[in-house]
A and B are shown apart, each in its own frame.
Chain A
Amino acid sequence: MNVLNFVHAFFSDGAHWHGYDGIPTRVWEHIQFTLEALAIAAAIGLPVGLVTGHYGRGGNVLALIATAGRALPSFGLLVLLFILLGFGVVPVMIPLVVLAIPPILVTTYEAVRSVDPSPVDAARGMGMQESRILFRVEFPVALPLILSGLRSAAIQIVSTATIAAYVSLGGLGRYIIDGLYQRNYEKVVGGATLVAVMALVTLALFWAVARFTVSPGVRRSA
């Protein structure tokens, strides 16, 4: 009950809706960081995952990268890079991208590798080129899994971009970090609510994208 009162107080205060520390500004900042990091990570992870998955090689190396990526504490990396490189977007972007690459890479690899080999052989028998096999046969079948990899990467970025407010990044984490220092619990809980809503919206967004892009035939067999 207590928390709900705080949430209500935070959102009904008109002062929280304007200016550089207003809710619209902070939400937009958060979206920008998330999209930027996700785009960079996808630009690296997707091609590598698709090619290695197509040829079915390098699985052990990718598993190693994934374990290493998970073992590296993203928050620790964030603070360390901030101390080493100083204030800026780069020390925040690097950990976010490092965090997001393993799920994209490994899921894409597994998705393409585990496509049923008989349609792939059929496509090859019909004389399709390797690149066309990859994009016309394997990719559509693997798409649900590939999207799930992107989804978990996106959610991790949203969540870690919140923590990045500790090293002076804008975004929704500002409310939580500032609120904790100011002992303003209303602000803390308001920020937490916004972040949680944002993560759930991300989840819903990916669900909707999967709904529209995954071919009905693939969806039925899944």
Chain B
Amino acid sequence: MSNAHAPAGEQRSLELDRQQLERIWALPNGWRILSAVNNTVVGYFYIGAAFLFFLLAGLLALLMRTQLALPSNTFLSADTYNQIFTMHGTVMMFLFAVPAVEAMGILLLPQMLGARDLPFPRLGAFAFWAYFVGGLVFFSTLFFDLAPSGGWFMYPPLSNTRYSPDIGADFWLLGIGFIEISAIAGAIEIIVGILRTRAPGMSLDKMPMFAWTMLVFAGMIVFAFPAVILATIMLELERALGWPFFDAAKGGDALLWQHLFWFFGHPEVYIIFLPAAGMVSMIVASMAGTPLIAFNLIVVALIATGFFSFGLWVHHMFTTGLPAMSVSFFSAASMAVAIPSAVQVFAWIATFAAGRLRLATPALFVLGFLFIFTLGGLTGVMVAMVPFDWQAHDTYFIVAHLHYVLIGGMVFPLFAALYYWAPAFSSRALSERLGKWSFWLMFLGFNIAFLPMHLLGLWGMPRRVYTYPAEMGWQTLNLVASAGAFLLAAGVLVFICDLFRNLRPNLASPAGNVWGAGTLEWLENGLYGPRSIPHVESRYPLWQQPDLAKDVAAARFYLPNAPTGLRETIVTSPIEAAPQYLQRLPGPGWTPLFAAIFTAAFFMLLTVKMLLAALACAVLALACILVWVWGSDPEPLGHVQIGGGIDLPTYASGAVSHAWWAVVIVLLVAGSLYLSFVFSYLYLWTVAAQAWSLAIQSGLPSAASAYVGAGLLGLSAACVGVAGKVLARSRTGFAALVLIALLALPAALGLEVAAHWRSGLRPQASGYAALVYLAAVLQLQIVVAVVVTGAYTLTRLAMGRLSASRRVTFDTLALLSYYAAGQGMLGLLLVHGFPRAVS
């Protein structure tokens, strides 16, 4: 697309185009910046919030290490210490680690992929504000002595009302539950952004490694988080209403929680590690000045890690008395997962050897990461061996292992990334001198703090202990570890000084490509991203397409202007990145912020049992969301020119639409949630089968009620399907069919609940009964979503904003309705069919 220097008239119109882009993408000024939705602004807020939580949880760690520095210390009482270690783990895992890597994705991905923004800017803003507000409220429970104290993993029975009667556990359950929803919203954005908004020509094999890791990261969130969401719903139902999922005396099982929690918990640590590995891949290539060796093999390793990590969770349960065959399987899987990580490590080393590593601060943090993470991975292989784990589990050996892999595997890469990418988002790079000080203090402090803990564990010191007697001989190493922790903190402090002295957030004219890197985020970017969206032909466009940066800046590629006068980005096909349509994006707005505040308020008021106030906030949140959604789905404007002789439609319906993809991902989440429920149902049957035979004897509702229910569900799906066909011809017919569908779904649910209630089954009676009613709770969630979406669809129809050519809203309703019908039928099959099949 290079042409000769443009004549003067063309120069002037290019300048006008640039001014137009600047106006359209301008940020609101002053405090109104809180309503911004640009990925760069939201990304900055996100990484700032994540870093704040890192510091807060780090302070908690310093308090813990102060208490443990001396034997029988009285600095903290047992209860305070238990709250602090619970919050340290919870805040680090949920409020720092996942949000931090998600933030880096939001900040970097659009520019790295050659897009102007993420596909759902307001969803990203909502995800951030929900996380920030909810996280702050949750953290503040510490100041009121209301923090949870059952550990970050909250095992029942310790976490049920009998042994944790106070409200801290409820704060944990509800607070964490909705912070996870925020993570899922972010994951949707990232998946659709990576698969559908890459620059034209950037086929999957040319996509940067960080985008690959974020894709796997987001996919893992979709399948892993629902398990813990279900577990938190179940535990809260047990605490608030007495539904005995985990109560062995009533046909529940404490191990059910452990299975659900760790099915999430193990992928969680790879969710945290893989994006960090992706950042390392990018930094290594730039610092060595050469493309990554074995790129394709690394991608395969990433995907393999993602898959394997779902098959390891029982290695957290090796001491629970499970059969030898089961634990051996999970031991094998846990060792196998070391192989893809080893592939990445050696690929990075090969890249060092292929280039010439510049030992600037980012490279130092990468080298530190390699040492610490490898050591942590090796202790991981050790604890993957079941007999060794029988000694090491729940001791300071594990504390050492987990910090080596998490601080080594994520924190060090994060610091490398902050030093590396700061010049792209700040008018000044960070200081090399302070960076080196920060690195060495952190590296030495970390090892001094955590290396002795391996020995402490082998010398018998268990985890989660607020003190230890002097007779044990553990005090010297504990004192050394505490000193190391403070040294590590000093390193972080130096980094904070560097931030204050040198970081000057500037998205319009940043310091620039100081490293001579090869990927697109290093183009001259304004608030609107690149001046024009390049046509990509290689994996390292700035290295392999020599005039690219110049041509992008001279507006010689796509979208040098804004054909519709609004914020836009190009939607491309998932594999080949061929342009498909032009998406219009929203500008600043207050609804995501307020929706997030009201959602957070809803969850917190529910926790303190102020039900009316909670309901009011739920209604307000819903109102904000409806206002926000009403403004999306703009009407089709025909075709526009985007440059390069390409013209694209401005609207897409059906499976090509990015909105359709988002809904499908939501349904994958819902499906995972439901499959976790199916697992729980079948699992409790293996533990307490007598409840199932009892159910048959004392009156499972008749099969007739199940058939009628299935019929209603089928009717609902069929009506929606036919409605789609008649939309073009008859608006009344369409509305009538949708209405029937919207009535049939809740009717099916009501019938099911009434049938069980009339048969005398009460959810508090047993684990089995609780599960039957849990099916109804999960069905209720999706039915409410369908009914609200249906009412919204009919409103759009009435206001003339829905038609055969503008039908994204209806496509969304259709997907949700088919899913609701399918989920309902699976539920009926399980609840009515399974007991009959096994008796």
Q: Do A and B bind each other?
A: no
Name A's B-contacting residues (CB within 8 A): none
Name B's A-contacting residues (CB within 8 A): none
